[in-house]
Structure 1
Amino acid sequence: MRTQVLGRVDYLPTYEAMRAFTDARSPGTDDELWLCEHPPVFTQGLAGKAEHVLAPGDIPVVATNRGGQVTYHGPGQVVAYPLLDLHRRGYFVKEYVFRLEEAVLRTLAECGVTGHRVTGAPGIYVRLDDPFSHRRLDAPPPQPSPDGRGSNAFEGLGKIAALGVKVSRHCTYHGLALNVAMDLQPFSRIHPCGYAGLATVDLSTIGVSTTWDEAAQRLGHHLHALLT
């Protein structure tokens, strides 16, 4: 798998390039991993609802064909786009998502941070009161409802990484975003991933000082190890 570090690139041309790469690939096309960050942008997944975008202001909203609902991308966030042939790799979408999350968990662990999965809500979360605690979550939380109401699944947790994938003819694009050191205010303008009141954090706000380049290198290393 070839890794490309694209740096800061506009979202829409990158999305179009991923889709074109996937549409044009053949059974012999090498897999790639693109690592980048984007200027401020809200992106809506196929399940996205307009009411989850509260006040976009001057930040553009782009409709996409990935799974999931609305999220925010901006400077200081590592975005990873694996362009894989799952049929050739020999595993299915559920396993692919698990491996994406595992790469984030291992990246956080290298920073001393314990990440957590929440049933029914793809992505990785940390304890707001003690992100460095190695304790498991006390009990499996109830599965959150799509609008985030009537559930305490996220109580005491902040989301630090979001996932949204697309699979076409067994080939993947879109991917995941890890918050490193960014302006988190735009997340308050949406219901992140469709969940009202969901707290969003980055490594910087939980006390981890690292650069975008360092975080991208670590995440890319773990993605390469787990996906190949």
Structure 2
Amino acid sequence: MQSETATSDPKSNSTEAAVDAIRVHNIGVQAYLQTQQRMQARAAMDRASRSNQIWLLEHSAVYTQGTSCQQQTLLPSDIPVVKSDRGGQITYHGPGQIVMYPLLNLKELGLGVKSLVNTLEQAAIDVLHESKIDAKRRKSAPGVYVDSAKIAALGLRVKNGMSYHGLSFNYAMDLTPFSNIDPCGFKGLEVTQFKDQVATGLFDDAHKEALAFALAERFINLLKQRTHN
């Protein structure tokens, strides 16, 4: 009787290799508009010359209006408002917020937009659970919530097969600017942050950076799990 030899799936192997090749870069504090232009330039590149990357960063204070944003009257403020090509409505970015942008070739990674959104959300949920914070999704309202308050928001764009923009995670920041808008288009939506959900802690740059890398690592590990399912 001839024995059978198990063969691996070449497609699965190539996807796993692509996940393993993802590189994480902490690029510090960045202006929103210039960062968007850099992401757009990468998306316009030939697919073969684009590596899969995750950018970890923090934006200077800014309101961004996504492609679904209706005209909204803002209270007087020194905070600039810029148009974004991500999906979604209006949100605020500022110091003390962790931003994670996955610049990924979706086909190479076997990812659709819905699965990318779910994986980003799950990464944030898992990291929050590790700090004993009960976080969850909400139906028809992308993002991550603690009770009824939003702690992480999502907005994505896919162009030429590459995802960009991504997830913003409220770490330890001034939440006041959110009161000038309907966050993500939801009137009266409460927002919260990591700092307000834990009993004690040293909320400094070193801890913020460690949490950002933990978020990226969890996201990559979830992608790896998908290749084995």
Unpaired runs of 5+ residues, structure 2, are 1-21, 225-229
Query: Which residue of 2 is the match for residue 21 of structure 1?
Result: 42
What secondary structure is seen at the aligned counterpart in 1 of 2:125? Answer: helix
State the aligned residue count: 198
Runs of 4+ deviating beyond 4 Å = none
Task: Write the distance in 1 (CA, Å) between the matches of 2:211 and 2:219.
Answer: 12
TM-score when normalising by structure 2? 0.83
Select which of 219, 222, 228 maps to 2:218: 222
Task: Write the distance in 1 (CA, Å) between the matches of 2:151 and 2:54.
Answer: 21
Is residue 142 of structure 2 the alignment partner of residue 122 of structure 1?
Answer: yes
What secondary structure is seen at the aligned counterpart in 2 of 1:84? Answer: strand
**Equivalent position amino acid for 2:167 in 1:** L
Tell me how far 1:56 sits from its aligned partner: 5.2
Tell me how far 1:182 sits from its aligned partner: 0.2
Task: Write the distance in 2 (CA, Å) between the matches of 1:56 and 1:185.
Answer: 13
Tell me: CA distance 1:56–1:22, structure 2 relative to 1, closer, same or farther (3 Å): farther
Is residue 23 of structure 2 the alignment partner of residue 38 of structure 1?
Answer: no
Let me know the Cα RMSD of the aligned residues. Answer: 1.3
Correspondence list, 1:142-161, <5 A: 157-161=148-152
Q: Deviations over 1:2-35 (max 9, x none)?
A: 1110111111111110111111142352100000
The question of whether the paired residues in 1 share the 8 Å contact of 2:127 and 2:218 is answered with: yes
Select which of 191, 195, 202 maps to 1:204: 195
**Equivalent position amino acid for 1:61 in 2:** V
Using the aligned pairs only, state the percent identity: 42
Query: Which residue of 2 is the match for residue 191 of structure 1?
Result: 182
The question of whether the paired residues in 1 share the 8 Å contact of 2:89 and 2:185 is answered with: yes
Task: Write the distance in 1 (CA, Å) between the matches of 2:76 and 2:194.
Answer: 24
Q: Deviations over 1:201-222 (max 9, x none)?
A: 0011223534311221211111
- If you compute each CA radius of gyration, which structure gives the higher value, 1 or 2? 2
**Equivalent position amino acid for 1:101 in 2:** E
What secondary structure is seen at the aligned counterpart in 1 of 2:195? Answer: coil
What secondary structure is seen at the aligned counterpart in 1 of 2:211? Answer: helix
**Equivalent position amino acid for 2:139 in 1:** T
Tell me how far 1:110 sits from its aligned partner: 1.3
The question of whether the paired residues in 2 share the 8 Å contact of 1:116 and 1:124 is answered with: yes
The question of whether the paired residues in 2 share the 8 Å contact of 1:54 and 1:191 is answered with: no
Task: Write the distance in 1 (CA, Å) between the matches of 2:99 and 2:169.
Answer: 6
The question of whether the paired residues in 2 share the 8 Å contact of 1:104 and 1:124 is answered with: yes
